[in-house]
C-alpha cells in the first residue's frame, strides 16, 4: 500500500474526491491484481512528487465495490483523474510515470 496516497472509501469519497479543492487522482486496485502491484510504486511516486498540488488516493475495489460500479470501472488498475469534482479522464492498465505526468498536464493543465 502507498505511503503517500490516502485511502479512499465509500464514506470519504465525496469529501476527498468530489469536493476537493485540488485535482485528484484515484487508483482503483485489488490485492490480488498483479498489474495493480506493478503500478503501485509509480502511483506512490506521483503522490510524493505532486503532494502540494494534487491529492492522490487509492480505492481497494474488493472493500468498496460500490465505488467501482459507480465509476464504471471494468478493469483494474484504473486510474481516474478528477478536477472540480468531475472526471477529466482515465488510464487503464500499467503505464510509466512519464505517461502519467503527460496525462496530469493534459487533464489538469500546468501545475
Which residues carry out catalysis?
A: 33, 36
86-92 β-sheet, strand order: 6-7, 55-60, 24-29, 78-83, 86-92
Q: Which residues contact residue 1 at a Cβ distance below 8 angstroms, ignoring those fewer than 6 apart?
A: 7, 40, 58
- Angle at which helix 34-49 crosses helix 97-108, to 10 degrees, equals 60
Q: What is the distance, to the nearest Å, from the Cα of residue 24 to the centroid of all Cα atoms in its chain?
A: 7
Q: Residue 91 is placed in which grid cell?
A: 488510464
Q: Residue 87 is placed in which grid cell?
A: 472526471
Q: Is residue 109 classed as helix, strand or coil in its secondary structure?
A: coil
Amino acid at each position: 500500500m502507498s505511503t503517500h496516497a490516502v485511502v479512499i472509501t465509500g464514506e470519504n469519497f465525496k469529501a476527498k474526491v468530489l469536493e476537493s479543492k485540488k485535482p485528484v487522482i484515484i487508483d482503483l486496485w485489488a490485492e490480488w491484481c498483479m498489474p495493480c502491484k506493478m503500478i503501485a510504486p509509480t502511483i506512490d511516486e506521483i503522490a510524493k512528487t505532486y503532494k502540494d498540488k494534487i491529492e492522490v488516493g487509492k480505492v481497494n475495489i474488493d472493500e468498496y465495490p460500490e465505488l467501482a460500479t459507480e465509476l464504471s470501472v471494468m478493469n483494474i488498475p484504473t486510474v481516474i483523474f478528477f478536477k472540480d469534482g468531475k472526471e477529466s479522464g482515465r488510464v487503464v492498465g500499467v503505464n510509466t510515470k512519464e505517461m502519467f505526468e503527460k496525462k496530469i498536464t493534459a487533464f489538469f493543465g500546468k501545475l
